[in-house]
Amino acid sequence: MSTMSPLRLFRRVAIAEAVTWALLLVGMFLKYVTETTELGVRIFGMAHGVVFVAYCLTTVVVAVDQRWSAGRALLGLAAAVPPFFTVLFDRYAEKRGALGTAWRLTASEPRGGLDRPVSWLLRNPARGAVAGVIAVVALTGVALLVGPPAS
C-alpha cells in the first residue's frame, strides 16, 4: 500500500463500488422489469456486496490515517448506500484536502486507538493486503449468514 496513496486507493475502491452498483441495477432491471433473468442480481449482487464491504473497510483505514472527523467518516460510509454516491464523496473529500498523496501513519508514530492497527496495515503492505482480503471475506460471510438479500 505504500506506493498506493490514500487518494488513489480510495478513488479506485469508490469507483469499483459505483460500477458494481451500476451492474446490480442492470441485473435488477433484467429481473424485475423485463423479467428475463435473475442471474444478473445473483452475480452482480454478490460482487456489489463484496465491493461494498471493501469500500467500508477502505473508508475506515483512510479516515483513520488522514484524521477525518467522525462526521466525515460517517458521511464516507453512508455514501456507499445510495448508488454512485461513493464517487461524489470521493470528489468532495479531494476538494477539501481530505485525501492525501501520502500515508500519515507510515511516517509518524501511531497515537493509540485505531492508529495502531492501521499503522501496522500500512507499514506491512503485503500482510495488510492479506488482512484486508481476509476481513472482506469474513465480513461478507457474516453478512450472508445474518441474512442474504431477499430475492
Task: Kindly report the pTM of this predicted structure.
Answer: 0.92
Distances (CA, A) of 9 to 33, 107, 116, 150: 35, 18, 20, 31
Measured distance CA(96)–CA(59) in Å, rounded: 16
pLDDT in the model for residue 150: 65
The tens place of each residue's pLDDT in the chain, 151 residues long, gives 447 999 999 999 999 999 999 999 999 999 999 999 999 999 999 999 999 999 999 999 999 999 999 999 999 999 999 999 999 999 999 999 999 999 999 999 999 899 999 999 999 999 999 999 999 999 999 988 988 666 5
The domains of the chain are located at 6-146
- Residue 11: CB partners within 8 Å, gap ≥ 6? 90, 94, 99
